[in-house]
Structures are given as structure tokens and as C-alpha cells.
Amino acid sequence: MAKGRNSFTWQLKFSLILGGQAFSLIGSGLVQFSIIWWLTRETDSTVILSLATITGLVPVILLSPLAGVVADRINRRLVMMMADAFVALVTLIMAVLMILGYQPIWLIFILLFLRAAGSAFHQPAFEAAIPLIAPEIHLVRTAAVTQILRSAISFLAPLMGALLIEWLPLAQILLIDVVSAGIAILLLLPSHIPSVSQSDRAGHPLAGYMQDMKIGIQYVLRWKGLLALILVFGLSNFLLAPVLSMMPLIITRHFNGGAREYGLFEMALAIGVIAGSLSLSIWGGFKRKIVSINIAQIICGLGLAGIALVASDRFWVVLVLIALCGLCSAYINSPATAIMQAKVDKEMQGRVMSIVTVVCMVSMPISLAIAGPLANVIGLMPIVYIPGLISTLIGIACFMIKPLMRIEDRRASEPDPAVLPAGVPEQPENAAF
């Protein structure tokens, strides 16, 4: 971080970037909710819902490694603007086709695929941009504020989506996203984000894109604490994905609900995350962030398992439990983000964030491919309580993984400079790992 960084300057930059993120997310949230419910209403199929989720994940998995390199090589503001513009263009084309009366299911899948491709480049650029403008001591705060924004939008998007899908055709809802993406680009235009020079990154001649990807992978593999954190999150996503993906059908079949109940479910989840993020921004969590993460993981798993025990006429209990899970997720995501933003080299941020995305996401389509057909055999409720119980056991086991528990220690989890991959600078002796 540059010395003497003006507090107002970095806060203004952060506000503009976050404002752009807000408009981008609110449009995407409306479209995502509307598409999922449209597919639920039109098909009533667990397989279609699973395939829709997989379609949105595959581009992120395939493109994130490249997106991470791009975020480390190209100005991160420009990457975010280009990603928003691409998503807006694709969505506009799809909206026009649907207005003309052309809306087969496969067209919706193409829309999901291309929109996900744009987000694959946007997310690592956004996450890697924050430590370039915000002081390290405020990274937990910026992560919490970002989480509050995302959760607030998650709170509003289902409510607005549930109303809009009843009043407007899907094509017109897509146009709302086009406008929001345009506003996001305009807010990013005056924002200056420092570029990470090639010489600063490696201290040797510019490597190729594939070599940069390899350097990023080796960086993670040699840092055992970070590797453990990423793998745990990947397994957690493997367990959580079926629960959230099947929730529309659980609501319609077990609780006899509809779009209103699904909207309330999403809103309750968002309220929980907002409450957790607000408390985290005030309290800050445990002194060791990894402790906050592990305890939240245990409680969240118990909350998910409890949903399967709720009677069909007690849907409000589900809302309470999912709000609790949302609160816990804030104590998982914000501290984890702050750890990575503070400890990972700035010139490696894009690649590391993209690796985190790939590992967490690659587990989800595998899980959904299994869960969709399996739910037709064993029922929906086992898809809820089994992952919840396993998640709780994972949280307990994390306390026994020494490299993970030492991830915040001074050099305790840092790889030996003798085995650092080419292109990764050695940390100074006072680096706080």
C-alpha cells in the first residue's frame, strides 16, 4: 500500500467501484431470479433446474484461470467495464429475440452461459482491485460492506423479481439488466485503479498467459494454509449447491408455496447475511479470522440440516433457519476474503481469486449432476439434511488442520523461498503470513 494514501480518496474510489457493482448486481439478480422461476414454472423439472445451474457454472470454471491472468495483466477497471458491456450486449440480443416471439428453453441456456462468461472476468477483477485502493487495515471492513451490498440486493431482487415475473414477460425484465449494466459502466469511468506493472509482478521478462496460470497454481499449491482454505470451501460448495438449487421445488412440493414463498426464502437469506455483515463490521469477529470461519461453518451446517425437520405448515421456521445460515455465511466469506486480500501478493491477486473461484465452482456442477437424478430417487429432504450434517463435521475438522489454523501467522504458512515457483517474489522478512 502506498504511504500516506488519502482517506477520502480511497473511500471515494471504493464508493464509485462499489456503486458500479451495485447496479451490475441488481440487474443480474432480477434476471437470475426471473429465469430460475420461469424455468421452474415452465418445466417443474429437477433436471432442468440442475442443468440451468450447471450452465451458469461451466463458463466460470473454464474461463476463470484466463480471467485471473487478464486481471493481473490489464487494468482491473477496464476489465470490469468490458465484462459489463459484454453481458449487456448479449442480454440485449436475447431480449430482442424473445420480444420477436423466439424463446425456446435452449435459448435461455445460451443466455445463462454467455452471461456467466462475462461474470467470470468481472469478479476476479473486482476482488483484486480492492486491495489496490483500500489500506490493509480496512480490508475486513470493505469486505463486509461489499457483502452487505450483495445481500441487500439479494434481499430486494427476489421481491422485485417475484413481482416482475408476474407482471412482465421475461424479455422486458432482461432489458432492465441492460440499463443497469450501462449505469455500472458510467460509474466506473471516472474511477482510477492503479495497474500492477509487469516488472513489479515478477522481476523478470513477461511470461506468457499459460506460464502466468502455472505460476498462480504453483503459488497456491506451495502455500498449504491457503490451499487448505480453498479446498474446504470447494467441498462446502459441493454440499450446499444442491440445497439451494432444489429449494424452489422443496417450496412448491413440501411447503405448497409459490413465487412469493421462494422470494421470502431468498429475502430471509439476504437479511441474515446483512445482519452478519453489519455485526462483523462493528465487532470485527474473533481476533483470528479463521476461528470465525470455522465456528460459522459448524452453525451453518446445523441450520441447513434443521430445514429438513420442519413441518410443511411451518414455513416460517425455514425462514428463521435460512436467515441464521445467511448470518453465518457473512462470518465465513468476509474474513476469508480479507485474509486473501491482505496476505496474497498484489500482483497475484487476480490469479489467486480466479483459482478460488474455479475450485469452489468446479465442485458445484458435479454435485448438481448427482443431486438432480438422486433427488428423484431418495426424495428432496435427504438432499438437505445430509449436506448440512457433513458441513458441520467439516467445520469441526478445520480446527484440526494446522496449516489452515496458522494461515494468519507471521510466515507460518508461507512457502519456503527455495521452492517458490519462478515468477513469484519472495516475501520480505517482516511479511505477516
- pLDDT for the residue numbered 204: 43
State yes or no: pLDDT of 95 exceeds 80: yes
Confidence at 428, pLDDT banded by 50, 70, 90: very low
427 has a pLDDT exceeding 80: no
Residue 199 included in any domain: no
> Does position 332 have pLDDT exceeding 50, yes or no?
yes
Helices and strands of the chain, counted as H and E runs: 15, 0
pLDDT at 411: 45
Residue 374 located in a structural domain: yes
Domain holding 340, by residue range, is: 8-191+208-419
Categorize the per-residue pLDDT at 98 as very low, low, confident or very high, splitting at 50, 70 and 90. Answer: confident
pLDDT of residue 82: 93
Whether residue 428 is contained in a domain is answered as no
**Residue 201 falls inside a structural domain:** no
Domain-embedded: residue 1? no
Tens of pLDDT, residues 253-294:
888 888 788 888 988 888 898 899 888 877 767 778 899 899
Most confident of 143-147, 241-245, 271-275: 271-275
pLDDT at 205 over 70: no
Q: What's residue 127's pLDDT?
A: 82
Confidence of residue 197 (pLDDT cuts 50, 70, 90): low
Residue 199: what pLDDT? 45
What pLDDT does 395 receive?
94
Residue 390, pLDDT above cutoff 90: yes
User: Any idea which of 22-36, 86-100, 172-186, 195-209 has the lowest mean pLDDT?
Assistant: 195-209
Looking at residues 415-430, what average pLDDT do you find? 42
pLDDT reading at 200 higher than 50: no
Span 351-369, average pLDDT: 81
pLDDT band at 86 (very low <50, low <70, confident <90, very high): very high
DSSP 3-state of 168: coil
The residue behind cell 458441513 is 391
- The dihedral built from the CA positions of residue 30, 334, 366 and 250, taken in this order, carries a sign that is negative
58 is a domain residue: yes
End-to-end Cα separation, the chain, in angstroms? 16
Please, which pLDDT band fits residue 416 given cuts at 50, 70 and 90?
A: very low
Distance, CA of 340 to CA of 361 (rounded, Å): 18
Checking if the pLDDT of 40 tops 90, the result is no
Residue 285 lies inside a defined structural domain of this protein:
yes
Q: Find the range with the poorest average confidence among 76-85, 185-194, 408-417.
A: 408-417
DSSP 308-365: TT--TT-HHHHHHHHHHHHHHHHHHHHHHHHHHHHHS-GGGHHHHHHHHHHHHHHHHH
Helix residue ranges per DSSP H, 137-258: 139-167, 170-188, 198-202, 209-222, 224-253
User: What average pLDDT does the segment 394-401 reach?
Assistant: 94
Q: Above 50 in pLDDT, residue 374?
A: yes
d(CA 304, CA 409): 32
Return d(Cα 195, Cα 6) in angstroms, integer. 18
Per-residue confidence (pLDDT) for residue 369, from 0 to 100: 80
Tell me what the mean pLDDT of segment 352-362 comes to: 83
Q: Is the pLDDT of residue 84 over 80?
A: yes
Number of domains into which the chain is organized: 1
**In terms of pLDDT, which residue wins out, 89 or 281?**
89
Task: Assign residue 171 the CATH number of its domain.
Answer: 1.20.1250.20
- Structural domain contains residue 431: no
Mean pLDDT of the chain: 81
Region of poorest pLDDT, from 8-22, 194-208, 316-330, 356-370: 194-208
Determine the pLDDT at residue 426.
Answer: 46
Q: What percent of the chain has pLDDT over 90?
A: 15
The yes-or-no verdict on residue 202 having pLDDT over 90 is no
Predicted pLDDT at 6: 58
pLDDT of residue 64: 85
